[in-house]
Structure 1
Amino acid sequence: MGDELEIRAGGAVAVDSDTLRHAAGRIAAVKGELEELGGRLIFVQGALAGHRGRAAEAYDAACLVFARLTEALRQADALAERLEAAAAVYELVELNVRHAAALLAGDAGAAARIDMLRDRLMAEWPDAMERARGLELERAVMWPSELARQSTLFGFTAGEEVSERGAMIGGVVAGLPTIALAAAAGLSRAGLIERGDRLVGGPASVSISRVRPDPSAKGSPMSLAGAARRIPNGAGASRVRVEKYTMPDGRREFAVYVAGMQSQAFGRYEAWDNASNVELYVGYESASYTATVEALEAAGARPGDTVHAFGFSQGAMIASHLAMEGDYDVQTLVTYGSPVEADAEPGTLSVGIRHRDDPVTALAGGGHMAAVGASGSFVAERVYDPAVEYDDALLPAHRLTAYAETAALVDASDDPRVAGLKEVFARLGEASSVEVSEFGARRVVEELPSGPPS
């Protein structure tokens, strides 16, 4: 099930402009050596020309080598120019991202400095900005291609049971809205948490309670899949799991695992409901976020303590905002099936596990244009279930068990970017002791809603 796993540094353009320019410089150096060799060949040709009667074959061979050398020099010039042009385009994409961030932050000075850098690049490469904007637009519109394919095919299959025309109508009706909504998410940047963004609205009214920890998870997690299995899955009352690590030198570190949505209700007793989904997505502090912070405090975490945050779906939004709020030193942020992406600080190792056929992750609009987080951060993506079946309406690609399967593939990968995360797990494994706490939570409502509690 699923297609090949892709692990990348993240961002829309995973290309290093400096590397391209370095390659162009190496080509220029080789070109100089070729030109020197060409000069020697001209001398050899001249010497052989006077003895063509006895060295005709040698003269012809020298002429052939010189012709090929001249063509190689021409190709080297063209390749170096293309590399330099590509470097300018990709650098403009990065500068455009930084310019937008500076404007959002109200930093006019930074925006002006970036404008100068962009103007300098465009003066040398007049077509570069048009190509950069083309890349940005293509990425914003085309990134949800797999989701659009499956939606269109689903509508086509459903309509085919009625008639051939019904198949065509069903494909259009299902596919076009998917493309439009996904593109809107990408263009609006609604699912992106920018640096400096903070939740508003203040703490919500919640009541947390300790519950019996899952006895099957002992010690520290040794892998991404192991961490996913520690996230509460709704089988009981647990919503947040906190592990307190006491290191050999006496330092304390905490790992927090946050559940996904547990109820389709809106604003009732269950803190992990659709109301919290909406609030977190638009930047308001939800009951589930408040409960997570209170759970950390109850487990002994204090402002400034080191925290490693793991979350699925709504829990991924909570973990992302936890990293951005700045109350804790969130050194690791791991999200599974997140509807948002946070522009994590350079001190936060950011790991995102996504399925291209998961409509929930589509709410992040493809993520930030530039890579986020510390060096070694990465995004791992695949299509979980390429087949189109009627049970796709149950969102099989957005299940915690599905993301645990993908996490296991990442664990088995030999991609060097996974090494940084493995180092985190190895360090936690050196703890002298591990204390585990799990918490349930209920939203406090002023008036009892009608019907049974949910």
Structure 2
Amino acid sequence: MASDDLDIRSGGIVAVDTETLRAAAARLVAEGVACEELRASLDRARRLVSAEGVWFAPPTGAAIDAGERSRRLAHDLQAMANTYEVAELASAAAIAEAAGDADLAASLRGRAAEILVADPAAIAKLAALAVHWRGQNVTALIGQYSAPGIPGAPSPFDAGGLMVVATTLISIIGRGTVEQGARLGGAGDPVRIARRGEGRTTAPTSLTQVVDRIPQGENRVRVERYTLPSGERQFMVYATGTAGLGVREVANWRANTDLYLGRGRAASFEATMAALADAGARPGDTVNVAGYSQGAAVASFIALDDTYDVPMLITFGDPVQADVGADTLSVAVRHNDDPVSALADGGFAAGVGAEGSFVASRETPGTAWTGQGPIGSHLLDTYRETAGMLDTSSDPRMDGVRERWQALAQATSVEVFVYEATRGTGESVDVGAPTVPGAPAVPGVGGAPAAPWPRSGGGVSSGASADAG
């Protein structure tokens, strides 16, 4: 699909941050002034030449038209900035109120009211944007799942109608957004991880490569350890999606509900944290996180947790959206017709995360009845296609993502570890240290590196955490 099918926004309602819009409007106002000055100069030139008896027809009309267009565009951008800012202020006020800060909430709403007094039309524009935002998933899901008409016989099962009911319930439950400060509390099920492969690799250079590194098959977690020229170590972890129904499976449906309903430290979360510890990450270390589906929710909660410094969060098909704060670049990739993404209920109205964070979304081609299958819009391969569209996008927000990878690319060594994980405790089987399949070797380095610290049995058993030492 063409990149034109991809919608890249700073938030659920907010397409572009208000500061960027106001800066662009200011530049257009300046251009309008420059066009007026040019018109005046051309008029003076015409009069001077005419006084000498020479006929001269300067392009004053073009200068006037350019000036008027600049002023109209500046007005439109200012109006959109007002609309987005009201959305941002309303969202921030709701968060402040939920946190018990009534004074801050009142102050934020007061600022929003001032904007609306100066620009009354903004409220109508905001209402229209909110209706579109809230309705886009429902509309897309109806198109994805409504049964095709059969001449002479009504459909006995209209999945589209069920999707309307489901998305309405999701809005009522309100579990799709996770505020700052939220943690997965309580004791989680014990998990056992086993390192099933290790080797050397390089930093990712695209979102497509990030998708390709998300574990599939028997593996559940992948951890990359970067040693920078300064000697500092950083990490990147990739978490898999729902992997099965078995009672010992860490990424099963029980873990899904634990994460979505906030019922406790889900086993998939525990396994990912244990894998990070086994790979050498210590509290306070820098860890970039990425995940798909259930793994995206795990990544979101790791970014909210206090254990690690998380400068970048990348999610595909995340059933939640986490307000990760101003220190984390958040990249959320969604499909509007993905029932799992729909669980996020559109996410936050305003942007979350560091400057340059964004949400990228699209509707996938076809329907559940025309070859994709019932979950075609949620498949990782489909998200890989969307990642490729982002990789080729000229949107400047992708430059911020590329800059993060360029920093990781300076590493003198990148080690990679992949893990299996199961619920429960017990001795794990030592499977040695096979090279990670598909991991490109660093030039001049062959084979898998030796384990950097003593470990027994090739795995780590964990309750709330795991110690690799």
Q: Which whole-Å CA distance do the structure 2 matches of 1:140 and 1:22 have between them?
A: 29
Superposition deviation, residue 416 in structure 1: 2.9
Q: Which whole-Å CA distance do the structure 1 matches of 2:373 and 2:15 have between them?
A: 33
Higher helix content, 1 or 2: 1
**How has the CA–CA distance of structure 1 residues 434 and 151 changed in structure 2, closer, same or farther, with 3 Å as cutoff?**
same
CA contact (8 A) 2:368 2:374 kept: no
Q: Out of 325, 329, 348, which is 1:345 matched to?
A: 325
Q: Out of 247, 256, 264, which is 2:228 matched to?
A: 247
**How has the CA–CA distance of structure 1 residues 23 and 248 changed in structure 2, closer, same or farther, with 3 Å as cutoff?**
closer
Superposition deviation, residue 123 in structure 1: 2.7
Q: Which whole-Å CA distance do the structure 1 matches of 2:393 and 2:65 have between them?
A: 42
Letter in structure 1 aligned against 2:260: Y
Q: Please list, as runs of the form range in 1=range in 2, the aligned pairs for 1:283-432 lying within 5 A after superposition.
A: 283-284=262-263, 285-389=265-369, 392-432=372-412
Counterpart check, 1:119 vs 2:100? no
CA contact (8 A) 2:332 2:358 kept: yes
Q: Which whole-Å CA distance do the structure 2 matches of 1:33 and 1:299 have between them?
A: 61
Q: Please list, as runs of the form range in 1=range in 2, the aligned pairs for 1:435-450 lying within 5 A after superposition.
A: 435-444=415-424
Q: Please list, as runs of the form range in 1=range in 2, the aligned pairs for 1:47-126 lying within 5 A after superposition.
A: 84-126=78-120
**How has the CA–CA distance of structure 1 residues 150 and 429 changed in structure 2, closer, same or farther, with 3 Å as cutoff?**
same
1:251-283 Cα offsets, whole Å, 9 max, x none, are 010111111111135xx2111110100110112
Q: Which whole-Å CA distance do the structure 2 matches of 1:74 and 1:111 have between them?
A: 39
CA contact (8 A) 2:145 2:369 kept: no
Deviates more, 1:301-310 or 1:356-365: 356-365
Superposition deviation, residue 189 in structure 1: 3.8
**How has the CA–CA distance of structure 1 residues 88 and 188 changed in structure 2, closer, same or farther, with 3 Å as cutoff?**
farther
Counterpart check, 1:14 vs 2:8? no
Superposition deviation, residue 301 in structure 1: 0.8
Is the partner of 1:330 in helix, strand or coil?
Answer: coil
Q: Which whole-Å CA distance do the structure 1 matches of 2:290 and 2:68 have between them?
A: 53
Superposition deviation, residue 323 in structure 1: 0.2
Q: Which position in structure 1 is the counterpart of 2:161?
A: 176
TM-score by length of 2: 0.76
Letter in structure 2 aligned against 1:8: I
**How has the CA–CA distance of structure 1 residues 389 and 113 changed in structure 2, closer, same or farther, with 3 Å as cutoff?**
same
Q: Please list, as runs of the form range in 1=range in 2, the aligned pairs for 1:154-233 lying within 5 A after superposition.
A: 155-157=147-149, 160=150, 163-167=151-155, 173-186=158-171, 189-200=174-185, 202-213=186-197, 218-233=201-216
1:11-56 Cα offsets, whole Å, 9 max, x none, are 1221444455556656766479859979x99xx99xx9xxxxxxxx
Q: Which position in structure 1 is the counterpart of 2:460?
A: none
- Structure 1 unaligned segments of length 5 or more: list them: 49-57, 446-454
Q: Which whole-Å CA distance do the structure 2 matches of 1:412 and 1:71 have between them?
A: 35
Identity of aligned residues (%): 37
Counterpart check, 1:264 vs 2:258? no
CA contact (8 A) 1:4 1:382 kept: no
Q: Which whole-Å CA distance do the structure 1 matches of 2:338 and 2:119 have between them?
A: 39
CA contact (8 A) 1:263 1:273 kept: yes
Superposition deviation, residue 145 in structure 1: 2.5
Tell which structure's C-alpha radius of gyration is larger. 1
CA contact (8 A) 2:220 2:418 kept: yes
Q: Which position in structure 2 is the counterpart of 1:54?
A: none
Superposition deviation, residue 427 in structure 1: 2.6
Q: Which position in structure 2 is the counterpart of 1:55?
A: none
**How has the CA–CA distance of structure 1 residues 16 and 321 changed in structure 2, closer, same or farther, with 3 Å as cutoff?**
closer
1:320-353 Cα offsets, whole Å, 9 max, x none, are 0000112100111111221111122222121122
Counterpart check, 1:275 vs 2:269? no
1:102-136 Cα offsets, whole Å, 9 max, x none, are 11111112112112212322333344334423422
